[in-house]
Amino acid sequence: MAKVAVPTSSNLYRGAPSARRSGEMADSSTLSISPEVRSGEPFPERELLDAYKTMVLARATDERCLSLQRQGRIGFYAPLMGQEAAQVGASRAVTAQDWVFPAYRELAVALARGVPLRSVFDQLLGNAEDQIKGRQMPNHFGFRDINFVVASSPIGTQITQAVGAAMAAQRRKDAIVTITFFGDGATSSNDFHAGLNFAGVFRAPTIFFCQNNQWAISLPRERQTRSATLAEKAAAYGVPGVVVDGNDLDAVYGAVRSARDRAISGGGPTMIEAEVYRFGPHSTSDDPKRYRSDDEVAAARERDPIARLRSRLVAAGGWSDESDRALWDAVRQQVLHTFEAAEKVPPIPARTMFDDVFAHLTPRLEEERATYDSLLREGVEKP
Average pLDDT over residues 211-229: 93
Task: Looking at the structure, tell me whether residues 359 and 228 fall in a common domain.
Answer: no
pLDDT at 153: 87
User: In percent, how much of the chain has pLDDT > 70?
Assistant: 90
Q: From the centroid of its chain, how far is CA 151?
A: 10
CATH number at 24 reads 3.40.50.970
Residue 129 has pLDDT above 80, yes or no: yes
Is the residue at 101 inside a domain? yes
Task: Looking at the structure, tell me whether residues 187 and 317 fall in a common domain.
Answer: yes
Is the residue at 5 inside a domain? no
pLDDT at 19: 41
- Whether residue 98 contacts residue 176, with contact meaning beta carbons closer than 8 Å, is answered with yes
**225 burial level (CB within 10 Å; 0-12, 13-18, 19+):** middle
Instruction: Give the HSE-up count for residue 115: Cα atoms under 13 Å, Cβ half-sphere.
Output: 30
Q: Count of domains in the chain?
A: 2
Tell which wins on pLDDT, 271 or 25: 271
The C-alpha torsion from 115 through 116 and 117 to 119, rounded to 10°, is: -90
How would residue 28 be classed by pLDDT, with cut points 50, 70 and 90?
Answer: very low
Task: Looking at the structure, tell me whether residues 331 and 364 fall in a common domain.
Answer: no
Phi, then psi, of 53 in degrees rounded to 5: -65, -35
User: How big is the chain by its Cα radius of gyration, in Å?
Assistant: 22
* pLDDT digit string, tens, across residues 54-107: 999 999 999 999 999 999 999 999 999 999 999 999 999 999 999 999 999 999
pLDDT at 7: 30
pLDDT at 334: 98
Is the residue at 2 inside a domain? no
Residue 16 has pLDDT above 60, yes or no: no
User: In percent, how much of the chain has pLDDT > 90?
Assistant: 83
Q: How high is the mean pLDDT of the chain?
A: 90
Q: How far apart are CA 338 and CA 127, in angstroms?
A: 14
Q: How far apart are CA 240 and CA 196, in angstroms?
A: 11
Residues that are catalytic: 278, 282, 291
Is the residue at 212 inside a domain? yes
Is the residue at 1 inside a domain? no
pLDDT at 382: 75
Exposure b/e, 258-274, CB count within 10 A at least 16 = b? bbbbbbeeeebbbbbbb
Task: Looking at the structure, tell me whether residues 278 and 230 fall in a common domain.
Answer: yes
Task: Looking at the structure, tell me whether residues 294 and 382 fall in a common domain.
Answer: no
Q: How many residues are given for the chain?
A: 383
Task: Looking at the structure, tell me whether residues 253 and 121 fall in a common domain.
Answer: yes
Is the residue at 186 inside a domain? yes
Q: How far apart are CA 340 and CA 29, in angstroms?
A: 47
Is the residue at 3 inside a domain? no
Which H, E and C letters describe the chain, residue by residue? CCCCCCCCCCCEECCCHHHCCCCCCCCHHHECCCCCCCCCCCCCHHHHHHHHHHHHHHHHHHHHHHHHHHCCCCCCCCCCCCCHHHHHHHHHHCCCCCEEECCCCCHHHHHHCCCCHHHHHHHHHCECCCCCCCCCCCCCCCEHHHCECCCCCCCCHHHHHHHHHHHHHHHHCCCCCEEEEEEHHHHHCHHHHHHHHHHHHHCCCEEEEEEECCEECCEEHHHHCCCCCCHHHHHHHCCCEEEEECCCHHHHHHHHHHHHHHHHCCCCCEEEEEECCCCCCCCCCCCHHHCCCHHHHHHHHCCCHHHHHHHHHHHHCCCCHHHHHHHHHHHHHHHHHHHHHHHCCCECCHHHHHCCCCCCCCHHHHHHHHHHHHHHHHCCCCC
Task: Looking at the structure, tell me whether residues 306 and 373 fall in a common domain.
Answer: no
How would residue 39 be classed by pLDDT, with cut points 50, 70 and 90?
Answer: low
Least reliable range by pLDDT among 162-166, 222-226, 299-303, 306-310: 222-226
Task: Looking at the structure, tell me whether residues 179 and 66 fall in a common domain.
Answer: yes
Average pLDDT over residues 107-114: 97
Task: Looking at the structure, tell me whether residues 264 and 359 fall in a common domain.
Answer: no
How would residue 5 be classed by pLDDT, with cut points 50, 70 and 90?
Answer: very low
Instruction: Give the HSE-up count for residue 373: Cα atoms under 13 Å, Cβ half-sphere.
Output: 8
pLDDT at 252: 96
Task: List CB contacts of 364: < 8 A, sequence separation 6 or more.
Answer: none
Phi, then psi, of 207 in degrees rounded to 5: -110, 120
Average pLDDT over residues 116-138: 94
Least reliable range by pLDDT among 17-26, 49-58, 146-155: 17-26
Is the residue at 6 inside a domain? no
Task: Looking at the structure, tell me whether residues 234 and 367 fall in a common domain.
Answer: no
Average pLDDT over residues 137-163: 94
Task: Looking at the structure, tell me whether residues 138 and 271 fall in a common domain.
Answer: yes
- Whether residue 11 contacts residue 41, with contact meaning beta carbons closer than 8 Å, is answered with no
User: What is each CA distance from 166 to 64, 100, 203, in whole angstroms?
Assistant: 36, 11, 9
Please tell me the pTM assigned to this model: 0.89
Task: Looking at the structure, tell me whether residues 370 and 284 fall in a common domain.
Answer: no
How would residue 350 be classed by pLDDT, with cut points 50, 70 and 90?
Answer: confident
Nearest to 187 by CA among 164, 161, 221: 221
Domain boundaries, position 235: 17-343
Q: How far apart are CA 40 and CA 161, in angstroms?
A: 27
pLDDT at 232: 94
Greatest mean pLDDT among 26-35, 85-94, 135-144 lies in 85-94
Question: Bridge-partner residues for 182, per DSSP?
Answer: 210
